[in-house]
Chains A and B, each alone.
Chain A
Amino acid sequence: MSWIAIKMLTGDRAKYLGIVAGIAFAALLIAQQASIAIGLLMRTTSHIQDIADADIWVMDPNIQFIDELKPLTENDLYRVRGVPGVAWAVRFYKGQGRLKLDIGGDKKKAKYQQSVVFGIDDAALVGAPREIVLGKLADLRRPDAVMIDENGYRYVWPNEPLALGRELEMNDRRVVIVGICKASETFNTFPIFYCQYHQAIRYVPQERKVMSAMLVGVEPGEDAEEVCRRIQEQTALRPAKPGDPARPGLKAMTNQQFIDSTLMYFVRRTGIVVNFGITVSLGFFVGCAVAGQTFYSFTLENLRQFGSLKAMGLTNRRIVGMVLTQALLAGFIGYGLGVGGAALFGKAMTSSGSRLAFLMPWQVLAATAAAIFVIVLVASLVSVIKVLVLEPAVVFRG
């Protein structure tokens, strides 16, 4: 019986392609827009993803996301080092510095550029860039040395070849570029400067406390989340009133927890999700309308055939099964074309060097599948009612 259903579906070329195209378009729109939204949101966490050699981030308890790091006292470093399960803990500095591009030049003509400054531990260089395009990591130990990320370099000096040795100025201090490295695309597009901790704190006007966060490595065999809990417990402050729970002294999060926390901040506090959500739902509704309408008219056209089948004694259940088979086949083809198209789009965009944010996790595939399933279900249901209430005699009245 399914074979007849498929034959019926593919028999009407225009309608068949129409349904598939409608669903494919809906799937493409939903998958592609969702992937762009996720890609854009993930960029807010690119710094955390790049600093992959640390297991745990330790920060002030009020921190919600990477860009609002509140400085800690240097002593906290030693307190965290004393927590069981902590293999090592190092200083980390993240700040925004103003870069003066023309060192020693005319003050009025000098160009300024906001930039992100990372201060990594002087000795261990935890958090150092992994992929170095030009220069050596060891050069970071030279006086006034910084590494800039490749995207930042191209942003600051467009259409110029990558070159080392450029001298710049930050907070009235000399900066020499000794290396160019790769870093993930960021949300705010500022160039990223990597340098030693003791230099970084001079490149940004100082506050009383300077250490932005601590990067912690976990002893082998220890659970990172358990170590996080221990850090928070051991650094907790005395309760404000007797009987209250202890107040948190420091916040410790695993890399993944910090990524999630940062993502949630942007989801809650920005319109990214709402804006893209509107486009995604538009895709959903357009898909519903196009597929539903085409499928409905297809069913109407085939009403005679359904009537004759009914007259031959086919039960309603078999009829519904036939309609669902047709809908699911069309849905599957459309879905495959749509998500495949979205993936192709993403691949083409990211490999061509465009700065488009695109990240397609499996959840996008699943959610798109669910949406397409709902679309074909709605479309087939509207049509199947017509078939179910059909009097078989109608066919012969013609």
Chain B
Amino acid sequence: MFNRFGKFVLPLFALGMLGFAVYHVMQAYQKPPKPQPPMEPARTPFSLAVAGAGIIEARSQNIALGSALPGVVLKVWSPEELGLPAQPGRTPWEALIGRHVKQGDPLFRVDDRQLKSQLAFHRANLKSAEAQLAKLDQMPRPEELTVSKAKEEVAQASMELQRDVAERDAKLIGSGSVNEEQYQQHRLSLRVAQRQLAQAKADMALVKAGSWEPDKAIARAAVELAKAQVLQDQTDIDRAVARAPMDGMVLQVNVRPGEFVGANPGQSLVVLGAITDCVNVRVDIDEHDIPRYRPGAPGMASFRGAPDQQYPLTFVRVEPYVIPKRSLTGDNTERVDTRVLQAIYSLKTEGKPVYVGQQLDVFLDVSEGANKPVAPPESTGR
């Protein structure tokens, strides 16, 4: 009994156990098939590529409008005031977002009430100066002339009366009917009357001459001064209104009535950009990759979140200045890592979910034969 167990069963059992061990090992070696990523990541479409992060901007770059004057915002223009279709139920500053405005269109106005009152004051000043000048221009006054003329005629008459008396006295002095004293008195009276006539004539001449030229020059200068003040006020009032410097789309409105805006730089109160059938993509190329990059290399871009769809990019230009890269981690403390070369590419917008400021994964083809002749930057774009 044991003999059989020892000779056959035990070795067979051991063989079975070994078989189980081998099976166990094989099982442990069976690796699950290599999984694919849940979603295909952005793939390099070229055999030799330089990759970079891209950010969409308007073709004019994004223009952050500021305010020329600091102050409290009084008004934001609504689209209907600018001749655009109205959007009822929306505040003007909301309705303005995304609308195309034309060059010179007013967008918002800061507090100009003080400037307006100052303008009224200076206008009154101008009127006063102008009146002063007009008065000087209209001299002499006719009534004054009449008075002077009458005064002259009185003096003439008085002189003639005295002369008549004096002449008669001169004839009678020899006869002794007029004494010496009387004669002398009447002679002196004639001389007084003659001087009075001369005075009256001079007065008449003065009145007739009207105003003095230097006085008029002063009055004219005063008018000019007042005019300049009015003009200054008007310029200031105009400066209180921020206007679109070019045709473009309102990308962002950061200003609402009642808010205070300063004149400090870097405040983007309204962001404006020219968006046509294409936008620009600003591609950051790492400084280590600059030697491998050739300006003019064609590119492909894919949107974050949809790496499977890729869109062609056309070369526009390279910015000749290598700048410190701003880390695009989405963190508000932006950190400088390395320096990057920025190349500008153009992306057609039609039918794509394109927004200014959106980030893209960009691949640029630097393989041989991809270097198509590129038109000089002047003619390819702005």
Contacts and interface: CB of A to CB of B under 8 A. Distances in A.
Given A82-B292, A343-B21, A332 B11 contact: yes
Contacts of B289: 78-79, 82
Nearest to B8: A10
Interface in B338-355: 338, 340
Nearest to B6: A10
Interface residues of B, number: 63
B51 A337 contact: no
A334 B335 CA distance: 66
Contacts of A191: none
Contact of B17 (A78, A329, A336, A362): A336
Interface in A167-211: 198, 201, 206, 208-210
A42 to B, nearest CB: 10
Task: Give the secondary structure class of B's interface.
Answer: mixed
B18 A340 contact: yes
A20 B7 CA distance: 13
B337 interface: yes
A334 B325 CA distance: 68
A365 B48 CA distance: 47
Given A75-B325, A208-B335, A340-B20, A365 B304 contact: no
Interface string B5-35: 0110011011111111111110011001011
A364 B2 CA distance: 33
Contacts of A84: 47-48
Contact of B39 (A125, A217, A335): A125
B180 interface: no
Task: Give the secondary structure class of A's interface.
Answer: helix
A346 interface: yes
A79 B50 CA distance: 7
A87 B51 CA distance: 12
Contacts of B215: none
Report which residue of B38, B40, B51, B306 has the largest number of chain A beta carbons within 10 angstroms of its beta carbon. Answer: B38
B25 A360 contact: yes
A110 interface: no
A39 to B, nearest CB: 10
A81 interface: yes
Nearest to B18: A336
B37 interface: yes
Nearest to B15: A336
B329 A79 contact: no
Contact of B35 (A74, A130, A361): A130
Contacts of A342: 21
B257 interface: no
Contact of A343 (B6, B20, B307): B20
A124 B14 contact: no
A168 B28 CA distance: 37
Nearest to A130: B35
Interface string A346-372: 110000000000011110110000000
B131 interface: no
Contacts of A121: 41
Nearest to B27: A347
Contacts of B166: none
Contact of B21 (A10, A137, A209, A360): A360
Given A84-B47, A337-B14, A125 B38 contact: yes
B177 interface: no
A123 B329 contact: no
Report which residue of B20, B48, B53, B305 has the largest number of chain A beta carbons within 10 angstroms of its beta carbon. Answer: B20
Contacts of A130: 32, 35
B363 interface: yes
Given A123-B41, A362-B29, A78 B48 contact: no
A340 B47 contact: no
B44 A360 contact: no
A362 B292 contact: no
Nearest to B325: A75
A88 B42 contact: yes
A86 B6 contact: no
A329 B8 CA distance: 12
Given A75-B337, A78-B52, A13 B6 contact: yes
B44 A20 contact: no
B38 to A, nearest CB: 4
A90 interface: yes
A27 B340 CA distance: 63
Nearest to B31: A52
Contact of A81 (B44, B47, B340): B44
Nearest to A362: B25
A329 B329 CA distance: 68
Given A329-B11, A344-B20, A52 B35 contact: yes
A217 B292 contact: no
A6 interface: yes
A121 to B, nearest CB: 6
A83 B305 CA distance: 23
Nearest to A84: B48
B288 A87 contact: no
A124 B11 contact: no
Contact of B24 (A126, A337, A347): A347
B37 to A, nearest CB: 4
B49 A82 contact: yes
Contacts of B38: 124-126, 128, 137
Contacts of B39: 123-125
B41 A124 contact: yes
Contacts of B233: none
Contacts of B53: 74, 78
A82 B22 CA distance: 45
Given A81-B49, A198-B330, A344-B20, A361 B25 contact: yes
Contacts of B330: 198
Given A78-B52, A360-B28, A340 B21 contact: yes
B338 A337 contact: no
Contacts of A90: 41
A357 to B, nearest CB: 12
Given A81-B363, A82-B363, A361-B25, 15 more contacts: A80-B51, A89-B41, A90-B41, A125-B38, A126-B41, A130-B32, A332-B11, A340-B14, A340-B18, A340-B20, A343-B23, A343-B24, A347-B24, A360-B21, A365-B21
11 contacts: A6-B7, A11-B3, A73-B337, A75-B338, A78-B285, A82-B363, A88-B40, A124-B40, A130-B35, A329-B11, A343-B24
Interface of B: 2-3, 6-7, 10-11, 13-25, 28-29, 32, 34-44, 47-53, 284-286, 288-289, 292, 304-307, 325, 327-331, 335, 337-338, 340, 361, 363, 366
Interface of A: 6-7, 10-11, 13, 16, 20, 31, 52-53, 73-75, 77-82, 84, 86-90, 121-126, 128, 130, 137, 198, 201, 206, 208-210, 217, 219, 235, 329, 332-337, 339-344, 346-347, 359-362, 364-365
The 9 closest A-B pairs by CB, nearest first: A340-B17, A336-B14, A81-B51, A336-B18, A10-B6, A124-B41, A88-B41, A343-B24, A339-B21
